[in-house]
Amino acid sequence: MCLQIIFSALAVAYVAAVIFATKSAYTLMKKRGIDESVAIYYNRKIVHVATGGVIALLVPFLFDSWIYPFATGLALTLITTLARLKGKGMDFMQTKENWNDVKFTVMWSLSIAVLWILFNDPFLAIIPALFIAFGDAVTGVVRNALYKKRSKKPIGNVFMLIVCVVIGYYFTSITANPIPLWGVLAAVAASIVERFEIGPIDDNILITVTSMMFLIVGSLII
């Protein structure tokens, strides 16, 4: 247990280091004439990949219980929330318009915990977290590179689909109860719903909940 707690603490410290390292990236992008909103968006995606994605990949190897990644995610939710409440704590990666970074950490934590509790399989449990970390990130990067602003153009979903299908197929193939077809279906569904936002329900929530539903159904009927 002591080692698990140490891993959790190191994960939180690593995330904090990555977040504040992106402040330099923000400054550099601004100097190169990149619009502030675009620079912030790029930074958020960098953080999603380098923290949410990397840590999710390590979860099956570092932790033997869902409790530790869940606690780690909650700690990061607290950090990002407090930064918002302070005003300009992380204005190089947060915007006043939405709380998507906080929703990311919440859904990352919940999806891993719920799937791990239900099926006791960490490789299955990390799939939705990988979708919102890697799949959603490539979507945003492609759209911003092409249109120089945050948008929901379908070209982003094409690239997300490619990334998510690879993730979904691979990780559902190495689970204790392989369900590669359902991994692909979860990837397709996640890539479709990413285009939608319903009030406070953003793409992080839709991607996570939708892919979890497919993975749960697939695991139960196989």
CA distance 123 to 145: 32
Mean pLDDT of 181-209: 93
What contacts 10, CB < 8 A, 6 or more positions away? none
23: its two tokens? 């402040």
Contact in structure between 121 and 216 (CB atoms under 8 Å): no
* Least trusted range by pLDDT, from 14-18, 92-96, 216-220: 92-96
Position 88 scores a pLDDT of: 62
Torsion 7-210-41-169 (CA) sign: positive
Predicted confidence at residue 83, as pLDDT, reads: 78
Mean pLDDT of 216-220: 96
Q: What's the whole-model pTM score?
A: 0.93
3-class secondary-structure state, position 124: helix
Give the highest mean pLDDT range of 32-41, 81-90, 143-152: 32-41
Q: Which helix (H) or strand (E) holds 221?
A: helix 203-221
Q: Which of 3-17, 26-40, 175-189 shows the lowest per-residue confidence on average (mean pLDDT)?
A: 26-40
Tell me how far apart the alpha carbons of residues 209 and 199 are, in angstroms, rounded to a whole number: 16
Confidence of residue 39 (pLDDT cuts 50, 70, 90): confident
Q: Indicate the pLDDT class of residue 174, thresholds 50, 70 and 90.
A: very high
Does residue 151 register a pLDDT over 70?
no
Residue 87 per-residue DSSP state: S
Contact 40, 90 (CB under 8 A): no
| Residue 24 pLDDT grade (very low, low, confident, very high; cuts 50, 70, 90) | confident
